[in-house]
Structure 1
Amino acid sequence: MALLRTSEIREMTAEERSKTLAELRGELMHERGTAAMGGAPANPGKIRALRTNIARIQTIQKEEEKN
């Protein structure tokens, strides 16, 4: 999973953002579960990328709530 750019996130509709956020959270939960069971992650930086994407989406959602 590549990092989402803020411009890409801003172009999404609120519904698309919510859907993407749910998918990312599910994927993060899966990756954390794999790591917790002692499995070697296929891509070690994936958890960080997922967390960053989630934070970016949440930040933009908060900004748009204010406006």
Structure 2
Amino acid sequence: MNSKRPVTPFGWAIKQRLTEMHMDQKKFCELYGIPPYRLSNLIHGTRRAERYRRQVAELLNLPPS
């Protein structure tokens, strides 16, 4: 399931913050109870996932755009 979907600006912001926190996506999801596929949706813009968008933006201190 490694189809090359582009990463959105919000997705890059998520990846950058996780790197700064020395945390991978899997660990972040486990820690905050976020389904990994939802985080993937946010990173690739495949679904709006508003609830998780707000939660992730808040946890990572990002603007929710």
Q: Could you tell me the TM-score, scaled by structure 2's length?
A: 0.32
Greater RCO, CA 8 A, separation 6+: 1
The structure that is helix-richer by fraction is 1
Q: Could you tell me the TM-score, scaled by structure 1's length?
A: 0.32
